[in-house]
Structure formats: C-alpha cells, structure tokens
Amino acid sequence: MKLIDLFSGIGGFSLGFQRAGYQFTEHYFSEIDKHAIANYKHNFPNANYIGDITTIQPANLAGADIITFGSPCQDFSMAGRRAGLAGAKSSLIQYAIALIADIRPSVFIWENVKGAFSSNAGADFWAILQAFANIGGYRLEWQLLNTKWVLPQNRERIYLIGHLAGRSQPGVFPITEDDCPPRKKKKHTNFKPNLVEHSKPTAI
C-alpha cells in the first residue's frame, strides 16, 4: 500500500502495519522534530521525508491508500491548559483534514488523547467529526482504547478511522480487551550478585 504518515514521530503507525504483514509500495512521512526524523529514517530507510505538514503539496501524493496521523495533543490533554482547537498545536489537525480532502485515501486513521473527547465540553471533538464528515464520502468509527490491554502501561487513546465508500468498510470497532493477545508476563529470576573476593592488604 501507499502510506502517508503525518505527525509521524518515530513511526509507530508504520511499525504496526509492517508487523501486521503489510508492505509499502510507497512510503511518506512528515515530522518536524529532528531526532524523530533521524530515528524514522533509520527504522524505515525507504521512506520519503516530505517536510513540515504546513508545506506539503498534495498533488505529489495522489493515489495514497492510507493516511495516518496522531496530531499534537497538548491542547486537548487533561494535563495541559486545554486550549483545544484554538491552541497553536492542536489546531494543526486542520492541515491533515485538508490533505485527506485533497488526496482522498481509502482509509485514514487519527489518534489522540482521551481529553479530546471532553475538550471545550465536547465541542472540539464534534467539530473534528463535522470536519471529517464535510469531506464527503467517508464513514467514521471510533473508540477509546487502552495500551494496558497489550502492554504494562495505562494509556488511553482515541482511535478514529475513516473509510471511503466503495473502497473500505467500517467494522474495526468495537475492540475489547478479550480481543487482544494476552500480555506476556516477564519471568523473574533470582538475582545472584557477582562477588569478587579481595585479598587482605599486605602490611608494609
């Protein structure tokens, strides 16, 4: 598939698809953090870096099968000031929505923090849903998932999937904890210190 990974970080979405057995015929990513970019290039040497999301030219990315994006969450987070869509960071989602409207991939996936549900008393989440709906032709499904179902970490995240009519069908959600592979428990071994015997000092 032809994949476009926006706000890519070090490539979590791409790694997930890769481990699920998907192969990339074309692979593009957008990120601004120099360390994340270097890491991404190391993990996916065949991926093409397309720069800052605010400067991407959609004409060069036509025919994409899937767009993934975990847009900045600081303004939605319960731990932040909760500026919501009015914030400088979280408002960047508009660029991803515009690209989806231009490119019209078969599928898009958005990930964000649980606080996106409650930001501005829920108005921000519904505004995002309306923006996706206004693109036209996409059916949406979403769910709050928790990484503790598969990893020893309690991290709740919203996942929203858009399916382009005639090219993809909803049905990914709901997912329950029982649907996830059981977490492997780490085996504990008795610690055996490496003792070094020291000789007694010799009198001078």
Catalytic residue flag (residue 73): yes
Q: Please state the separation of Cα 6 from the chain's center in Å.
A: 9
Alpha-carbon distance of 13 to 30, in angstroms, equals 13
Q: Please state the separation of Cα 35 from the chain's center in Å.
A: 17
Residue 181 has what DSSP assignment?
Answer: P
- The H or E element spanning position 35 is helix 34-43
3-state DSSP percent of the chain in helix, strand and coil, to 5: 35, 20, 45
Contact 63, 71 (CB under 8 A): no
Which single residue is written with the structure tokens 């032809």?
Answer: 2
Contact 190, 182 (CB under 8 A): no
CA atoms within 13 A on the CB side of 185: 3
Closest CA to 1 of 94, 165, 10, 20: 20
Q: Which residue out of 73, 85, 92, 96 is catalytically annotated?
A: 73
Which residues fall within 8 angstroms of residue 86, CB to CB, at 6 or more apart?
Answer: 75
Residues annotated as part of the active site = 73
